[in-house]
Amino acid sequence: MTSIDDILANPQILKGKIPNDIISLFQDNPNWAIDTTKKVVIRVVVFREVTSEGNFTGRIIQWHPGDSTYHGPDPYWKVSTGEGGTVRIGGENFKE
Protein backbone atom coordinates (compact mmCIF):
# COMPACT_ATOMS: atom_id res chain seq x y z
CA MET A 1 0.00 0.00 0.00
CA THR A 2 1.14 3.53 -0.77
CA SER A 3 2.13 5.72 2.19
CA ILE A 4 1.94 9.47 2.69
CA ASP A 5 5.74 9.61 2.43
CA ASP A 6 5.53 7.75 -0.91
CA ILE A 7 3.08 10.37 -2.21
CA LEU A 8 5.24 13.27 -1.03
CA ALA A 9 8.34 11.73 -2.62
CA ASN A 10 6.59 10.79 -5.87
CA PRO A 11 3.37 12.80 -6.42
CA GLN A 12 2.79 11.06 -9.79
CA ILE A 13 1.39 8.19 -7.69
CA LEU A 14 -1.80 10.27 -7.47
CA LYS A 15 -2.47 10.37 -11.21
CA GLY A 16 -5.93 8.94 -11.88
CA LYS A 17 -6.86 8.78 -8.18
CA ILE A 18 -9.58 10.61 -6.25
CA PRO A 19 -9.52 11.58 -2.56
CA ASN A 20 -11.48 8.47 -1.54
CA ASP A 21 -8.60 6.35 -2.91
CA ILE A 22 -6.15 7.73 -0.33
CA ILE A 23 -8.28 9.12 2.51
CA SER A 24 -7.62 6.07 4.71
CA LEU A 25 -3.96 7.16 4.94
CA PHE A 26 -5.04 10.37 6.67
CA GLN A 27 -8.01 9.31 8.78
CA ASP A 28 -7.09 8.86 12.43
CA ASN A 29 -3.58 10.18 11.66
CA PRO A 30 -2.80 12.89 14.24
CA ASN A 31 -0.11 14.35 11.98
CA TRP A 32 -2.56 15.25 9.20
CA ALA A 33 -5.79 17.27 9.09
CA ILE A 34 -8.45 16.83 6.40
CA ASP A 35 -10.16 19.98 5.16
CA THR A 36 -12.93 20.13 2.60
CA THR A 37 -13.47 23.66 1.42
CA LYS A 38 -15.97 24.98 -1.02
CA LYS A 39 -14.63 27.51 -3.50
CA VAL A 40 -17.63 28.99 -5.25
CA VAL A 41 -19.44 25.75 -6.17
CA ILE A 42 -16.38 23.49 -6.39
CA ARG A 43 -15.44 21.15 -3.52
CA VAL A 44 -11.69 21.07 -2.84
CA VAL A 45 -10.11 18.49 -0.49
CA VAL A 46 -6.91 19.42 1.34
CA PHE A 47 -4.77 17.15 3.50
CA ARG A 48 -2.50 19.33 5.70
CA GLU A 49 0.36 18.15 7.86
CA VAL A 50 0.22 19.46 11.44
CA THR A 51 2.69 19.49 14.31
CA SER A 52 1.90 18.04 17.72
CA GLU A 53 1.10 21.62 18.78
CA GLY A 54 -1.52 21.88 16.01
CA ASN A 55 0.44 24.19 13.69
CA PHE A 56 0.49 23.59 9.94
CA THR A 57 3.90 22.62 8.55
CA GLY A 58 3.19 23.82 4.99
CA ARG A 59 3.18 20.32 3.53
CA ILE A 60 -0.13 19.71 1.77
CA ILE A 61 -1.78 17.32 -0.62
CA GLN A 62 -4.74 18.97 -2.33
CA TRP A 63 -7.34 17.66 -4.79
CA HIS A 64 -9.30 19.98 -7.04
CA PRO A 65 -12.21 18.52 -9.04
CA GLY A 66 -11.44 20.55 -12.16
CA ASP A 67 -13.86 22.67 -14.19
CA SER A 68 -11.43 25.56 -14.01
CA THR A 69 -10.32 27.85 -16.79
CA TYR A 70 -7.00 28.25 -14.99
CA HIS A 71 -5.90 24.58 -14.98
CA GLY A 72 -8.53 23.12 -17.31
CA PRO A 73 -11.63 20.97 -16.94
CA ASP A 74 -9.96 17.87 -15.50
CA PRO A 75 -9.44 17.10 -11.82
CA TYR A 76 -5.93 17.67 -10.54
CA TRP A 77 -3.75 17.18 -7.48
CA LYS A 78 -1.39 19.73 -5.96
CA VAL A 79 1.37 18.45 -3.69
CA SER A 80 3.48 20.95 -1.74
CA THR A 81 6.38 19.69 0.32
CA GLY A 82 8.13 22.92 1.23
CA GLU A 83 11.68 21.94 0.33
CA GLY A 84 10.55 20.10 -2.82
CA GLY A 85 8.29 22.88 -4.04
CA THR A 86 4.83 22.37 -5.54
CA VAL A 87 3.86 19.78 -8.14
CA ARG A 88 0.53 19.59 -9.96
CA ILE A 89 -0.72 16.34 -11.46
CA GLY A 90 -3.79 16.26 -13.67
CA GLY A 91 -5.74 14.51 -16.39
CA GLU A 92 -5.07 14.68 -20.13
CA ASN A 93 -6.68 18.14 -20.49
CA PHE A 94 -4.83 19.58 -17.49
CA LYS A 95 -3.00 22.85 -18.19
CA GLU A 96 0.21 23.32 -16.16
Closest CA to 13 of 74, 87, 66: 87
* Residue 57 domain flag: yes
71 or 60, which is more confident: 60
User: Strand pairing of 76-80 and 56-64?
Assistant: antiparallel
Q: Which amino acid is at 80?
A: S
Q: pTM (2 decimals)?
A: 0.82
Residue 42 pLDDT exceeds 80: no
User: Strand pairing of 32-39 and 56-64?
Assistant: unpaired
Residue 21 pLDDT exceeds 70: yes
Residues belonging to the chain: 96
Percent of the chain with pLDDT over 70: 82
* Residue 96 domain flag: no
Which pLDDT belongs to residue 67?
72
* Residue 33 domain flag: yes
* Residue 47 domain flag: yes
* Residue 62 domain flag: yes
Q: How many domains does the chain have?
A: 1
End-to-end Cα separation, the chain, in angstroms: 28
* Residue 95 domain flag: no
The arithmetic mean of pLDDT across residues 35-64, rounded, is: 85
SS3 3: coil
* Residue 54 domain flag: yes
Separation CA 83–CA 75 (nearest Å): 25
Q: What range defines the domain where residue 42 resides?
A: 4-90
